[in-house]
Chains A and B, each alone.
Chain A
Amino acid sequence: MKSVIEITLRAFVRLLVAKGIGFPDAAETLKKLYIKAAQDLTTDGKLTDSRISVMTGLQRRDVARLRNIPEPADSKPNHQVRLMALWQTDPAYKDHPTLPRTGPAPSFEALSRDIRKDVHPRTVLEHLLTADAVSYDADTDHVRLEQSSYQPMAGSDDQMAYLAQNLADHSEAAVQNVLTEPSPYFDRSVHYNNLPKEAVLALQNEYHHGQMKLLKALNQKAARLQTDQPGYRFRAGGYFFHQKQDTE
């Protein structure tokens, strides 16, 4: 089990060090997560500080200090990705890869107002232009959708939010598969070693296109099925990781 911790946390700890999050801060967060895990896994009887201490190996004074600290708020919806999804799925917009910047629907201004009324469409446009998600033709005063998915700027808050949400949901699915019988979630990967670099890059390209085709199909279907009432949420995604093998 110790090797599982090391393998799964290796990349994440590298991120923490790169972002200047020192061990004391990470350890404090880890203590809170241990307490939360003990609370989640306890379905019977009273969960005293002593019981949490026994379950987690934390000192009682740490349990007493940390157990009632409120959890961080859930992340807010990403309005940029929502706008791009609406542009590609809403009947009023999906056949218009280019929109007039202003004016009644279908226009970028109207689309932006559909997503957020409290942020000026110009601000939304600047954000999307920065991420190369759209382009703007000043001569015609039209905005063109350039990407089918939102890829935030490197190092931006949006990118960090995606990192957290994607990793959190994938690890939640994998952990629940391990802890629950039968395993409730789909989790598969294909993996090979001893391949030439060119072969891996070709496979990556094939995966990229196949994955985007599937994601776009699900995006269209989910957008049609979405309501304005709370219900279930889902996240499904893919990755392709490759690296040079360590021969030492």
Chain B
Amino acid sequence: MKRLIALSLILLLASCAQPTQVYPTEPDGGIGGTGTKSPEVR
């Protein structure tokens, strides 16, 4: 029973720990810039 509780606790802690944002392997991309908004949408 104690092992089950310990395992549950570990799994709970693991699920609470959000993955750290890692750079530069984290995918990045898109279109953006300093300028004015595009007049059209899609």
Q: Which residues of A contact B (CB under 8 A)?
A: 74, 76-78, 80-82, 84-85, 88, 97, 116-118, 132, 145-152, 158-159, 162-163, 166, 208-209, 212, 215-216, 219, 222-223, 226-230, 233, 237, 239
List the 10 closest A-B pairs by CB distance, nearest first.
Answer: A85-B30, A77-B28, A81-B30, A150-B32, A149-B31, A81-B32, A118-B18, A151-B37, A162-B34, A230-B25
Q: A88-B42, A148-B41 are in contact. Are A117 and B19 (CB under 8 A)?
A: yes
Q: Indicate the member of B19, B30, B37, B39 with the most A CB atoms within 10 Å.
A: B30
B 19-42 contacts with A by CB, 8 A: 19, 21, 23-42
A-B contact count (CB 8 A): 96
Distance A130 CA – B41 CA, assembled complex (angstroms) = 17
Set of chain B residues within 8 Å of A117, measured between Cβ atoms: 18-19
**What are 9 A-B contacts defined by CB distance under 8 Å?**
A74-B23, A77-B28, A78-B32, A82-B29, A85-B30, A118-B21, A150-B31, A228-B25, A228-B27
Q: A117-B18, A208-B39 are in contact. Are A78 and B28 (CB under 8 A)?
A: yes
Distance A152 CA – B31 CA, assembled complex (angstroms) = 11
Nearest CB of chain A from residue B40's CB, rounded to whole Å: 7
Please tell me if the beta carbons of B31 and A230 are within 8 angstroms of each other in the complex.
no
Please tell me if the beta carbons of A147 and B33 are within 8 angstroms of each other in the complex.
no
Identify A97's interface contact among B25, B34, B38, B41, CB under 8 A.
B41
Query: Across the two chains, which residue of chain B brings its CB closest to A226?
Result: B27
Nearest CB of chain A from residue B36's CB, rounded to whole Å: 7
Distance A78 CA – B26 CA, assembled complex (angstroms) = 11
Set of chain A residues within 8 Å of B29, measured between Cβ atoms: 81-82, 85, 219, 222-223, 226
Q: What is the size category of the interface that chain B forms with chain A?
A: 20 to 34
Please tell me if the beta carbons of A239 and B35 are within 8 angstroms of each other in the complex.
yes
Q: Indicate the member of B28, B34, B40 with the most A CB atoms within 10 Å.
A: B34
Nearest CB of chain B from residue A239's CB, rounded to whole Å: 7
Set of chain A residues within 8 Å of B36, measured between Cβ atoms: 151
Set of chain B residues within 8 Å of A226, measured between Cβ atoms: 27, 29
Please tell me if the beta carbons of B33 and A151 are within 8 angstroms of each other in the complex.
yes
Please tell me if the beta carbons of B38 and A148 are within 8 angstroms of each other in the complex.
yes
Nearest CB of chain B from residue A75's CB, rounded to whole Å: 9
Set of chain A residues within 8 Å of B33, measured between Cβ atoms: 149, 151, 162, 166, 237
Please tell me if the beta carbons of A149 and B34 are within 8 angstroms of each other in the complex.
no
Identify A212's interface contact among B25, B28, B32, B38, CB under 8 A.
B38
Please tell me if the beta carbons of A149 and B38 are within 8 angstroms of each other in the complex.
yes
